């Protein structure tokens, strides 16, 4: 039962507090707790009322009329989502704390800002996406950024989980890292952010809707012993100077905003680029790894299509793996071995998946405890996760013993991955037993109370003298078992005795005076009182009794003061407060016991996340008929009958079948020129080839009949482009910028897919650019690449022999194409199957017909096309010879080692 009590602090004192906080946090929206409301005042009230679409009101302070607005405490998270997530605002939370009676003659409240909520510092807000990390990232450099190759330090943390990372990064790759990590907020030194070489990264942040916060780092000398840099030495001892700078910026920002909820940071995990496949921002978007370009959300993306994870933390890990596939053979093979283990044992897969469904988000629960937050229910949730971990361990151990019993001997290679995983799991049985023995469960429901009016100061339930016990019914709502401590046990015995006395007194008074509707109750306004619900019948009886003093009455009820109940009720309230204080102490003790095991809990949670992802891969492989790829440390790429996972699923849902294709790349044929009609699957082929590589190096099986893939260090794509009018860049300019980045940064171990390079300008310019790009990839970079084009003249420039449709005079370039199958009655269908050769007809008129172009326009276009094709055919042979000669000449001129 919630009690209402007017605050003892004068209004003018509250005004002074509000004005001081507005001056102290000028960049924030200030929400001040007043009883059961959060309120905003002065000019900010007008802004808040507009943003939240709530009523703007006013009040008098010191004889002056000011603006104000507010909303009930129970609506806090709904409105925080609007302010922080939608409008990207910082919100300073000013909370109120009930003074102890000994601190003043009339008690009252103290108010202080305990936390500033920003997009990157969410902890446990309900609108926090459970399946995504909420990263805060800082960019650090010890000196001004003078060139695009200079290295800066990155540091990023998910405050809700405690996951903390650092890495060094060239400035020119900063935009790619921002897209890969996808932080909600970026922290920069306010001086460094002005450097011109960071402008590209700032543009990426603007495009991605990432909030930029500028801070001034605090030096170690200027900090007090409790300042943000006191713990930096152990955190930064193994980091580069730029990473250390980034950690300092991040730590300063966290201290300035988390305030009383600042966690003790653990040693950050240092990332190294050489251990991960590099995927630039254009490729992340172009391949729709996390989000669909058409829908703007996850639907249709690679992530949405392959996700079979059970837990939210597993989903977060899957998203990270997809954007940072491994380049380490041992790590990839370990993950694929786990997948293979569960693919071969569907019964075990189903059992473990069922067990995983009982796991809670242990990483975020633990972080709440480390931040000094958390509820008793979080202990139960954490315990559910620990029990799930123990059950999974038992299930896999049982399977191990059963197979050993049936077979007599186990395949060491088959079980080694599972044994390694189980061997790294920490035994937390004792912690689980401790939590179970400490908590008690109640399923009591309370009737909702009416919402108070804006400006009415009332206490919260935690300040209520009846927070633990409903005095009307005597029902307990305690969460810690009475036998947790001797103190609690004694208090509960006292409470039980007092509640029995209360029941006995109520029965005694009812029987003595013959008033069956008499009950003993309490409220904040009347204290302890006797209540009768049949005033007309029972009221006259008590009116004649001197021990009952009349208080209030309505049409059907009356209340009375009774001295004996007042004394007994006060004893119950005091005992209730004592139990609440003892429970708080017990809660903190139990929370400390959990935090002692923080590293073990984190390790188990990471292992279970990895198990969840690989188990999902196994389900995916079984459902979609994926195969295990063979991974090699070379430049091979041999995929037989590969498929695009997202396109295939889309076709299956509409009752259609995907046409698979094979791609075989090796040093003697590392670049394939793909020609063919519009809508005949060239772009799909390019994308599926790249996605298969990503899945393979993530540890998943792949959509193919058979696959052997050499490790790819960086994956590049140039697929599609659009105008960037804000920066005055045409579609063609955007295309050239992307192409330039690929040609500058690709290595022999990279994989490149390029679609329609050079189509945004004249035929002569475009063909020249396409030829030079292919020449550079094949002769200089010598990486694996697929190059789709409508420039069939490119085949002539590359010297395609008339008797060999696949080969070219460039030894490592081959030609493949898609086509159209036409029937005698004028109908046609696209042939998505790749075949050797060059398709010299784009069939654009067919696409125009399918699009519904007017017949008159189509007739005119057909006539023009036939005339142009005849003119081209008449001169085709001679032109092909000239283009071939030109290609050889250009190659000799541009050779890296030209003849003297």
More confident residue, 861 or 93: 93
Region label for 679, one of left (φ > 0), alpha (ψ between -120 and 50) or beta (otherwise):
left
Highest mean pLDDT of the ranges 11-20, 156-165, 645-654: 156-165
List CB contacts of 776: < 8 A, sequence separation 6 or more: 743
Same domain, 98 and 147: no
Question: According to the model, what pLDDT value does residue 292 have?
Answer: 84
Q: Which of 247-251, 695-699, 848-852 has the lowest mean pLDDT?
A: 848-852
Q: Indicate whether 867 belongs to any domain.
A: no
Q: Indicate whether 874 belongs to any domain.
A: no
CATH number for the domain harbouring residue 545: 1.10.1420.10
Rounded to two decimals, the pTM is: 0.87
Question: According to the model, what pLDDT value does residue 872 have?
Answer: 64
Torsion angle of the four alpha carbons 434, 436, 440, 443, in this order, in degrees rounded to the nearest 10: 150
Cα separation, 92 vs 18, in Å, equals: 11
Same domain, 554 and 421: no
Q: Indicate whether 888 belongs to any domain.
A: no
* pLDDT tens, position by position, 324-339: 999 999 999 999 999 9
Q: Which of 129-143, 461-475, 601-615 has the lowest mean pLDDT?
A: 461-475
Q: Indicate whether 854 belongs to any domain.
A: no
Same domain, 325 and 423: yes
* pLDDT tens, position by position, 261-310: 998 888 999 998 889 999 999 899 999 999 887 666 778 899 999 999 99
Above 70 in pLDDT, residue 378? Answer: yes
Tokens 């002056």: give the residue.
64
Question: According to the model, what pLDDT value does residue 174 have?
Answer: 93
Same domain, 786 and 650: yes
- Residue 484 DSSP one-character state: G
* pLDDT tens, position by position, 815-845: 998 877 776 666 667 778 898 888 877 667 7
Above 50 in pLDDT, residue 455? Answer: no
Above 60 in pLDDT, residue 447? Answer: no
Q: Indicate whether 873 belongs to any domain.
A: no
* pLDDT tens, position by position, 320-374: 999 999 999 999 999 999 999 999 999 999 999 999 999 999 999 999 999 988 8
Above 50 in pLDDT, residue 104? Answer: no
Cα separation, 261 vs 254, in Å, equals: 9
End residue of a domain, out of 271, 287, 320: 271
Q: Report CA Rg, the chain.
A: 35
End residue of a domain, out of 117, 145, 172: 117
Supply the angle between the helices 312-323 and 362-370 in degrees, to the nearest 10. 100
Q: Which of 94-108, 164-178, 222-236 has the lowest mean pLDDT?
A: 222-236
Contact status, residue 230 vs residue 141, Cβ threshold 8 Å: no
Q: Which helix (H) or strand (E) holds 510?
A: helix 486-513
Q: Token pair of 45, please?
A: 């009230």
Same domain, 653 and 795: yes
Same domain, 421 and 481: no
Same domain, 347 and 213: no
Surface-to-core class of residue 854, CB atoms within 10 Å of its CB (0-12 exposed, 13-18 middle, 19+ buried): exposed
Q: Token pair of 325, please?
A: 């596939």
Question: According to the model, what pLDDT value does residue 677 have?
Answer: 81
Above 70 in pLDDT, residue 230? Answer: no
Above 70 in pLDDT, residue 470? Answer: no
Surface-to-core class of residue 859, CB atoms within 10 Å of its CB (0-12 exposed, 13-18 middle, 19+ buried): exposed
By three-state DSSP, how is residue 704 classified?
A: coil
Question: According to the model, what pLDDT value does residue 207 have?
Answer: 87
Question: According to the model, what pLDDT value does residue 900 have?
Answer: 37
Highest mean pLDDT of the ranges 47-56, 480-489, 766-775: 47-56
End residue of a domain, out of 224, 255, 271: 271
Of 650, 621, 607, 647, the residue nearest 308 (C-alpha): 621
Highest mean pLDDT of the ranges 450-464, 769-783, 828-842: 769-783
Please calculate the CA angle 583-584-589 and round it to the nearest 5 degrees: 95
Same domain, 153 and 224: yes
More confident residue, 12 or 411: 411
Question: According to the model, what pLDDT value does residue 507 have?
Answer: 92
Same domain, 361 and 418: yes
Above 50 in pLDDT, residue 247? Answer: yes
By three-state DSSP, how is residue 832 classified?
A: strand
Query: Which phi and psi angles does 808 have, rounded to 5°?
Result: -140, 170
Cα separation, 845 vs 822, in Å, equals: 13
Question: According to the model, what pLDDT value does residue 443 have?
Answer: 39
CATH number for the domain harbouring residue 235: 3.30.420.110
List CB contacts of 564: < 8 A, sequence separation 6 or more: 505, 547
Question: According to the model, what pLDDT value does residue 575 have?
Answer: 93
Q: Indicate whether 124 belongs to any domain.
A: no
Cα separation, 592 vs 598, in Å, equals: 10
Surface-to-core class of residue 174, CB atoms within 10 Å of its CB (0-12 exposed, 13-18 middle, 19+ buried): buried
CATH number for the domain harbouring residue 657: 3.40.50.300
Query: Which phi and psi angles does 136 have, rounded to 5°?
Result: -110, 125
Above 50 in pLDDT, residue 430? Answer: yes
Domain that holds residue 36: 11-117
The number of distinct structural domains making up the chain is 5
Torsion angle of the four alpha carbons 612, 618, 622, 624, in this order, in degrees rounded to the nearest 10: 80
Above 90 in pLDDT, residue 312? Answer: yes
Supply the angle between the helices 362-370 and 598-624 in degrees, to the nearest 10. 160
- Residue 219 DSSP one-character state: P
Contact status, residue 135 vs residue 173, Cβ threshold 8 Å: no
Q: Indicate whether 92 belongs to any domain.
A: yes
**For the residues 64-78, what does the mean pLDDT come to?**
94
Same domain, 761 and 700: yes
**For the residues 378-404, what does the mean pLDDT come to?**
94
Question: According to the model, what pLDDT value does residue 880 have?
Answer: 60
Cα separation, 698 vs 339, in Å, equals: 11
Contact status, residue 278 vs residue 328, Cβ threshold 8 Å: no
Same domain, 252 and 158: yes
Supply the angle between the helices 598-624 and 329-343 in degrees, to the nearest 10. 60
Same domain, 832 and 771: yes
Q: Indicate whether 24 belongs to any domain.
A: yes
């Amino acid at each position: 039962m919630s009690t209402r009590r007017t605050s003892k602090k004068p209004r003018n004192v509250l005004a002074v507090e509000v004005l001081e906080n507005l001056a102290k946090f000028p960049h924030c929206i200030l929400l001040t707790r007043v009883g059961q409301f959060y309120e905003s005042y002065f000019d900010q009230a007008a802004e808040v009322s507009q943003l939240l679409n709530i009523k703007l009101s006013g009040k008098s302070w010191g004889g002056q009329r000011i603006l104000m607005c507010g909303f009930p405490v129970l609506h806090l998270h709904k409105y925080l989502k609007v302010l922080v997530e939608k409008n990207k605002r910082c919100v300073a939370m000013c909370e109120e704390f009930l003074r102890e009676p000994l601190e003043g003659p009339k008690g009252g409240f103290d108010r202080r800002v305990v936390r500033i909520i920003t997009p990157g510092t969410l902890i446990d807000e309900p609108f926090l996406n459970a399946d995504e990390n909420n990263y805060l990232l800082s960019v650090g450099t010890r000196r001004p950024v003078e060139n695009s190759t200079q290295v800066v330090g990155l540091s990023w943390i998910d405050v809700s989980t405690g996951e903390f990372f650092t890495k060094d990064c060239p400035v020119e790759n900063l935009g790619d890292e921002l897209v890969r990590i996808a932080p909600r907020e970026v922290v920069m030194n306010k001086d460094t952010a002005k450097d011109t070489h960071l402008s590209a990264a700032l543009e990426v942040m603007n495009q991605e809707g990432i909030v930029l916060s500028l801070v001034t780092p605090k030096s170690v000398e200027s900090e007090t012993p409790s300042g943000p840099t006191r713990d930096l030495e152990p955190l930064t001892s193994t980091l580069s100077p730029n990473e250390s700078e980034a950690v300092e910026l991040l730590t300063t920002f966290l201290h300035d905003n988390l305030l009383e909820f600042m966690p003790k940071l653990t040693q950050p995990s240092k990332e190294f680029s050489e251990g991960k496949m590099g995927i630039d921002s254009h490729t992340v978007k172009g391949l729709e790894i996390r989000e669909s370009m058409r829908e703007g959300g996850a639907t249709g993306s690679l992530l949405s299509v392959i996700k079979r994870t059970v837990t939210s933390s597993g989903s977060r890990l899957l998203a990270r793996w997809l954007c940072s596939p491994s380049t380490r053979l041992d790590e990839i093979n370990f993950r694929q071995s786990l997948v293979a283990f569960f693919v071969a044992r569907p019964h075990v897969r189903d059992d473990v998946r069922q067990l995983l469904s009982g796991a809670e988000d242990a990483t975020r629960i633990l972080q709440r405890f480390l931040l000094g937050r958390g509820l008793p229910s979080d202990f139960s949730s954490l315990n559910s996760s620990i029990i799930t971990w123990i059950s999974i361990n038992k299930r896999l151990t049982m399977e191990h013993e059963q197979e050993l019993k049936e077979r007599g001997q186990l395949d060491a290679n088959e079980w080694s991955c599972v044994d390694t995983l189980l061997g790294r799991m920490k035994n937390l049985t004792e912690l689980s037993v401790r939590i179970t023995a400490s908590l008690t469960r109640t399923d009591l429901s309370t009737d909702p109370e009416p919402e108070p009016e804006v400006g009415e100061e009332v206490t919260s339930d935690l300040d209520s003298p009846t927070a633990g016990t409903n005095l009307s019914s005597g029902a307990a709502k305690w969460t810690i078992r009475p036998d947790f401590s001797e103190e609690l046990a004694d208090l509960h015995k006292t409470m039980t005795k007092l509640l029995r006395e209360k029941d006995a007194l109520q029965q005694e008074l009812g029987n003595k005076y013959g008033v069956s509707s008499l009950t003993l109750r309490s409220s904040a306004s009347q204290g302890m009182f006797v209540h009768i619900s049949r005033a007309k019948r029972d009221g006259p009886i008590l009116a004649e009794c001197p021990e009952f003093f009349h208080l209030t009455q309505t049409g059907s009820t009356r209340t009375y003061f009774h001295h004996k109940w007042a004394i007994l009720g006060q004893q119950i309230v005091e005992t209730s407060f004592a139990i609440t204080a003892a429970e708080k102490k017990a809660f903190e003790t139990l929370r400390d016991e959990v935090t002692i095991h923080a590293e073990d809990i984190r390790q188990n949670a990471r292992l279970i996340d990895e198990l969840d992802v690989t188990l999902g891969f196994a389900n995916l492989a079984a459902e979609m008929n994926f195969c295990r790829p063979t991974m090699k440390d070379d430049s091979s790429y041999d995929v037989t009958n590969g498929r695009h996972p997202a396109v295939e699923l889309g076709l299956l849902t509409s009752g259609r079948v995907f046409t698979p294709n094979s791609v075989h790349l090796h040093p003697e044929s590392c670049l394939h020129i793909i020609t063919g009609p519009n809508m005949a699957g060239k772009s799909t082929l390019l994308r599926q080839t790249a996605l298969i590589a990503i899945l393979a190096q993530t540890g998943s099986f792949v959509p193919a009949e058979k696959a052997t893939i050499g490790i790819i260090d960086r994956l590049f794509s140039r697929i599609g482009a659009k105008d960037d009018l804000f920066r005055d860049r045409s579609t063609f300019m955007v295309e050239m910028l992307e192409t330039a980045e690929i040609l500058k940064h690709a290595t022999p171990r990279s994989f490149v897919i390029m679609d329609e390079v050079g189509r945004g300008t004249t035929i002569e310019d475009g063909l020249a650019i396409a030829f030079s790009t292919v020449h550079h990839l094949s002769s200089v970079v010598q990486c694996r690449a697929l190059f789709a084009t409508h420039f069939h003249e490119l085949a002539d420039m590359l010297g395609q022999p008339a008797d060999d449709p696949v080969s070219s005079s460039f030894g490592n370039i081959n030609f493949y194409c898609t086509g159209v199958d036409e029937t005698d009655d004028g109908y046609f269908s696209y042939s998505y199957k790749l075949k050797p050769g060059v398709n010299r007809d784009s069939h654009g008129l067919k696409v125009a017909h399918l699009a519904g172009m007017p017949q008159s326009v189509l007739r005119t276009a057909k006539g023009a096309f036939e005339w142009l094709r005849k003119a081209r055919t008449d001169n085709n042979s001679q032109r092909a010879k000239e283009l071939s000669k030109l290609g050889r000449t250009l190659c000799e001129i541009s050779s890296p080692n030209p003849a003297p």
